[in-house]
Amino acid sequence: MAAAASVPSHLPKHLLPGTYPKTPEEQAAAAKKYNLTLEDYKTYADDGLGYGDYPRLPDQSAQEKNPWYEWDYPDLRRNFGEALHRNFDLYVRTRVDTSPTVISWHIMKRYFWGFIGIMLGMGLVGEVFPAYQPVGPKQFPYHNVYLENRTNHNIEPLSEKHYEI
């Protein structure tokens, strides 16, 4: 096996992020590379994490995108040649939904804390006033309780009397 053999899972060099663009010409070339307009092309901060010229896309899940649009890949709700979000696996339809919620967050927090309060109150009331199913005394066959609880094992069982009418 050759030492310089490439692994099939590696991306070709033209698909890997390049160096961080510093000039407007480099930004225009990077926007063209990722099929974006220059107005839509924004990069991550050059903080050493290695994102390079990869575009900073909005945090929008596939669930939030228009379901009636003619997507090239309808299950992913994306088109051919569209740049993927850095956390693409997080924003697929079976994961995070970034759609605006119907109920505001402060109402949801009130519901949550109200539910927790009711559950804690019910737990405390259940501790103060326990409720159990009624249970009778343990039953032994043939009413031989003295045999089950005996300390002397030499005791013979009493004979059972069966009465007939």
| Residues near 71 by beta carbon (within 8 Å), at least 6 away in sequence | 65, 77, 78, 79
Q: How far is CA 56 from CA 42, 98, 110, 165, in A?
A: 5, 17, 35, 96
Sketch the domain layout of the chain as residue ranges: 100-130
Stronger pLDDT, 15 or 127, i.e. the higher one: 127
In the structure encoding, which two tokens stand for residue 72, read together?
């090239």
Asked if residue 94 has pLDDT above 70, the reply is: yes
Q: What is the pLDDT of residue 41?
A: 92
Output the pTM of the full model: 0.55
Q: Are the CB atoms for 73 and 81 separated by under 8 Å?
A: no
Q: 3-class DSSP state for residue 110?
A: helix
Mean local confidence (pLDDT), 77-81? 90
| Residues near 61 by beta carbon (within 8 Å), at least 6 away in sequence | 91, 92, 93, 95, 96, 97, 98, 99
Mean local confidence (pLDDT), 133-147? 65
Mean local confidence (pLDDT), 121-142? 81
Reduced 3-state DSSP string for 48-91: CCCCCCCECCCCCCHHHCCCCCCCCECCCCECCCCCCCCCHHHC
Neighbours of 6 (CB within 10 A): 8
